[in-house]
């Protein structure tokens, strides 16, 4: 299971880890889009962040019960105390990313609604606020700055 902020590489690295282990890959953000028929930005802007977070919590709960492979959680999934409790006892990898690297990876993307107004400032606040939560649920922390995805995969797989 992979957690981390926007731009950490959860989806990219998750797919590679799953392929290396011969396991299926699942992304809870994709589950939400499929279930609602709306993109993540549409959900944020049409229904609000609170409604999105409820959908996210449900998606994580379902995926943990149904999926026997590599799972990538949305960046804000750890905000929910119930989700954090569900993650205890699972192998959770926190993909850590610094502000400069995350800003470069995320850019000015409208696909990241929590960063829509001032991406760099919002990302800095998000990283500071969520860091303790990511670390609370993680059994392994891997720094991703300046590393190609394949190297990150190797670091994850080296610790079993």
Tell which wins on pLDDT, 39 or 102: 39
Whether the predicted model's global pTM rises above the 0.75 cut: yes
pLDDT score recorded for residue 110: 46
Tell which wins on pLDDT, 33 or 122: 33
Q: Where exactly are the structural domains of the chain? A: 2-158
**What would the pLDDT profile of 135-155 be if each residue is shown by its tens digit?**
999 999 999 998 999 999 999
pLDDT score recorded for residue 98: 72
pLDDT score recorded for residue 106: 61
Q: Please compute the mean of the pLDDT values over residues 58-78 and round it to a whole number.
A: 96
pLDDT, the chain, mean: 88
**Does domain 2-158 correspond to CATH entry 3.30.450.20?**
no
Give the 3-state secondary structure of the chain. Answer: CEECCCCCCHHHHHHHHHHHHCCCEEEHHHHHHHHHCCCHHHHHHHHCHHHHHHHHHHHHHHHHHHCCCEEECCCCHHHCHHHHHHHCCCCCEEEECCHHHHHHHHCCCCCCHHHCCCHHHHHHHHHHHHHHHHHHHCCEEEECCCCCHHHHHHHHHHCC
Confidence of residue 6 (pLDDT cuts 50, 70, 90): confident
pLDDT value at 100 more than 70: no
């Amino acid at each position: 299971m992979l957690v981390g902020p926007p731009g950490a590489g959860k989806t990219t690295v998750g797919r590679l880890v799953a392929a290396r282990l011969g396991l299926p890959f699942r992304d809870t953000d994709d589950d939400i889009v499929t279930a609602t028929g709306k993109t993540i930005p549409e959900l944020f802007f049409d229904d609000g962040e609170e409604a999105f977070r409820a959908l996210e919590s449900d998606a994580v709960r379902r995926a943990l019960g149904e999926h026997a492979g590599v799972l990538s959680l949305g960046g804000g999934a750890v905000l929910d105390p119930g989700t954090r409790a569900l993650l205890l006892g699972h192998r959770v990898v926190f993909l850590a990313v610094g502000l400069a690297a995350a800003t470069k990876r995320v850019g000015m993307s409208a696909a990241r609604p929590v960063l829509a107004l001032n991406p760099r400032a919002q990302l800095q606040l998000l990283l500071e606020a969520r860091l303790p939560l990511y670390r609370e649920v993680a059994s392994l922390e891997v720094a991703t700055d300046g590393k190609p995805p394949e190297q990150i995969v190797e670091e994850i797989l080296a610790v079993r």
